[in-house]
Structure 1
Amino acid sequence: MPHKHLITLALLAATGVAQAAQTIDVYRDPNCGCCKQWIGHLRDNGLTVNDHVEPNMSAVKQRLGVAPRLASCHTGVIEGKFVEGHVPAEQIKLLAKRDDLKGIAVPGMPMGSPGMEMGDHKDAYQVIGVTAEDKEEVVASY
């Protein structure tokens, strides 16, 4: 009977059920409440989060190549790619499959985006992908 468990584990791994959680490093200002809510959203959606309190967010964004027009309050890094702002977890998970993108961003702080929930009010917003050549494209609209 012990072989039955090995077969079950092999089947789970083959179907992707036993995938390891993706890890994202999040850099945020120490006084930001919405950043903490966004981190909660990521964790609730299966991502492992390393939370870094950073007093100089401008330097972090500049180091990672986040254009000022794409800026928001916090910045993540997953598999060497930047995640700027209130990006939904589903888009972060898809980023790993996009070799053509060096990062994604939700500019500003749109109401209703993950971490910015305020009752029923929801602003329309886009997730912007950035290529290695710094070209921008809309990868999702909400």
Structure 2
Amino acid sequence: MKAKLLLKGRALRVAAFATLFMASAAQAAEALTIDVHRSASCGCCKKWIKHLEANGFKVNDHVESNMSAVKQRLGVAPRLASCHTAVINGKFVEGHVPAAQILELNKHPDLAGIAVPGMPAGSPGMEAGGRQDAYQVIGLTKTGTDQTIAEYPAN
């Protein structure tokens, strides 16, 4: 009888774990959906979208006629601007941010968003000729200050 109760308890724990795992997997898949806003003529934006998709993101691609208005609406500071702007879980992602930093964005609840200002050679979507300029991923806090999230060296 005791062995039967132990097996029943173990089965319940396994079922509970499986339920939690499935719920976590569903939430993770949901978290990987990103909305990208770009102009129709931008080729590097399309390459960045391919980078995101190759790293597990589901991309909702929005072609915009006024990117300045999109950036302003989302709170992207002009000093952080680049060619495209994305939104994930209510936070902006500006420019050629690597997927690794986007995946870690939830670890930074104090941030309004992250950015790779400009269009540095060698960043995702800007790979051409094997050159990589040094660049940083900058986080913008909700209070308006910048902090370095990641650094990528030149090659």
Structures share a fold, TM > 0.5?
yes
Of 95, 98, 103, which residue of structure 2 is paired with 1:85? Answer: 95
Rounded Cα–Cα distance in structure 2 between residues aligned with 1:28 and 1:100? 26
Deviation at 1:119, TM superposition (A): 2.4
Identity %: 65
Deviation at 1:98, TM superposition (A): 1.3
Q: What is the letter of the counterpart of residue 50 of structure 1?
A: N
Match of 1:116 in 2: 126
TM-score by structure 2 length? 0.81
TM-score by structure 1 length? 0.88
Mapping of 1:1-142 within 5 angstroms?
Answer: 10=18, 13=21, 19-21=28-30, 22-142=32-152
SS at match of 1:63: helix
SS at match of 2:148: strand
Rounded Cα–Cα distance in structure 1 between residues aligned with 2:38 and 2:18? 39
RMSD: 2.1
How many residue pairs are counted as aligned between the two chains?
136
Rounded Cα–Cα distance in structure 2 between residues aligned with 1:17 and 1:82? 23
Deviation at 1:85, TM superposition (A): 0.1
The structure where helix makes up a greater share of residues is 2
Structure 2, gaps ≥5 residues long: 1-10
Deviates more, 1:91-100 or 1:54-63: 91-100
Deviates more, 1:53-62 or 1:93-102: 93-102
Deviation at 1:11, TM superposition (A): 8.3
Q: What is the letter of the counterpart of residue 139 of structure 1?
A: I
